[in-house]
Amino acid sequence: MSTDNVDLARDRAKVALRSLGLVALAGVIATVWLGLFVTPPDEFMGNLVRLLYVHPPMAWVAFLAFGVASLASVLYLWPRTRAEHFDRMAGASAEVGLVFTGLTLVSGSIWGRPTWGAWWVWDPLLTTTALLFVLYLGYLALRRVPGEFHVRARRSAIAALIAFVDVPVVYFSVEWWRSLHQAPTVLNPTTHKTYVHGSMAWTLLLGFVSFTLVYIWLVAHRYRLAKLHDLEDSEGLEAALVERRAEASVG
Amino acid sequence: MNGYVEAGYIVILGSLSTYAAALTARERAARLRLGQLAKPAAPKPELELAVSPSVGDTVQNSADAPGNETEQKGPEAAS
């Protein structure tokens, strides 16, 4: 590919990412407006239902992010598809997923205080979600442990797959154990019914789509940042080698 | 509405905005360190073309130039 084509592709990617960011922002603004001012209060929860237009999308994006991180880790571990960009993608997606998991816990806690009368309860869903947060925090810490690139990437990929085991446990915890947390309302796995309708359902759906777009935008930026850091590291190493060779030739 | 709803929205939107701003700032700083943003603008090719094919170059360097032909054939025509 010629330099002109590379520049053209880079410009197009930049425009696409900027457009994606604007669409995601518009979607989030629309979700907030519909969630706070248009949709009616719930029969039982009153205005607190408005928090549920943003809390489940946070959890969904966290699951999606960890799923992508796991898939990228598998592709890195598989010898035929092993490539540096899969390791970068796993790291980027896990970091964004960690942010969304944190927001899931905080928004759930804010909802739980007036609903259950406590900021935190050791409910199976909450506990396994907190465990998920700690597992991926550990994964990101492991990624920062110095070492040769492929050794570090391989151990990080294995850690990502171990951490992902907790994701289905979180999702099915409301089914497996007696839980204070309500069962899924959009698609209930037991009754196979939907318990949200009308403008409430559309607002929730818009929330899912908008925050998924936000996730894609954030991961794209985090991936680019990781790539730039790798480039900086390789340039720094090259400069150090040149300096060392110069010292050796003088000596 | 009660304060909990507003607090929830502020926490979520505030955190995501802060994270997004931090990412873009770090990306910009990394690009600056690598010199990707500090590159001087490349000169436009139109400007080079406008200057390079000067009349003097054609006359001095090309034997086939119409001006040279006239100059070389001039004395023969005169004799």
ipTM: 0.88
pLDDT greater at residue B17 or residue A197: B17
| CB A208, CB A27: distance < 8 Å | no
Longest dimension (CA), chain A: 83
Q: Which amino acid is at A229?
A: H
Residues of chain B contacting A36 with CB distance shorter than 8 Å: 1, 5, 9
Work out the pLDDT band at B35, boundaries 50, 70, 90: confident
Query: Does residue A79 lie within any of the structural domains?
Result: yes
Instruction: Count Cβ–Cβ pairs < 8 Å, chain A vs chain B.
Output: 73
Q: What is the pLDDT of residue B75?
A: 43
Q: Are residues B2 and B32 in the same domain?
A: yes
Count how many domains chain B has.
Answer: 2
Query: Does residue A241 lie within any of the structural domains?
Result: no
Q: What is the pLDDT of residue A200?
A: 87
Query: Does residue A246 lie within any of the structural domains?
Result: no
pLDDT above 80: residue B70 = no
**Residue ranges making up the domain that contains A222:** 3-236
Q: Which of B13, B16, B34, B39 to mutate to test the interface with A (most CBs of A within 10 A)?
A: B16
CB-nearest partner of B27 from A50, A217, A228: A228
> Over chain B, what is the mean pLDDT?
68
Q: A149-164 and A84-116 helices cross at what angle (nearest 10)? A: 30
pLDDT above 70: residue B11 = yes
Residues of chain A contacting B1 with CB distance shorter than 8 Å: 36, 47, 50
Q: Do A218 and B2 touch (CB under 8 A)?
A: no
Q: Are residues B31 and B61 in the same domain?
A: no
Residues of chain A contacting B22 with CB distance shorter than 8 Å: none
In Å, what is the CA distance from A92 to each residue of A10, A72, A73, A136, A237?
A: 20, 10, 12, 12, 23
Task: Read off the CATH number of the domain in which A127 is found.
Answer: 1.20.120
First to last CA, chain B: 108
Residues of chain B contacting A28 with CB distance shorter than 8 Å: 13
**pTM across the whole model:** 0.80
Rounded distance, CA A165 to CA A33, Å? Answer: 36
Query: Does residue A193 lie within any of the structural domains?
Result: yes
Query: Does residue A200 lie within any of the structural domains?
Result: yes
Q: Are residues B51 and B71 in the same domain?
A: yes
Q: Are residues B4 and B32 in the same domain?
A: yes
Query: Does residue A8 lie within any of the structural domains?
Result: yes
Return the structure tokens found at A148. Answer: 């040769």
pLDDT above 80: residue B43 = no
Q: Are residues B26 and B55 in the same domain?
A: no
Q: What is the pLDDT of residue B48?
A: 52
**Chain A nearest-CA residue for B30:** A228
Q: A166-176 and A149-164 helices cross at what angle (nearest 10)? A: 10
B52–chain A nearest CA distance, Å: 23
Please list the ranges in chain A whose pLDDT falls under 50: none
Q: A198-250 and A55-77 helices cross at what angle (nearest 10)? A: 40
**Residue ranges making up the domain that contains B27:** 1-39
Query: Does residue A245 lie within any of the structural domains?
Result: no
CB-nearest partner of A218 from B2, B13, B23: B23
Q: What is the pLDDT of residue B39?
A: 53
Count how many domains chain A has.
Answer: 1
Q: Buried (b) or exposed (e) across A103-123, using 16+ Cβ within 10 A?
A: bbbbbbbbbbebbeeeeeeeb
Q: Do A110 and B30 touch (CB under 8 A)?
A: no
Residues of chain B contacting A47 with CB distance shorter than 8 Å: 1-2, 5
Work out the pLDDT band at B44, boundaries 50, 70, 90: low
Query: Does residue A114 lie within any of the structural domains?
Result: yes
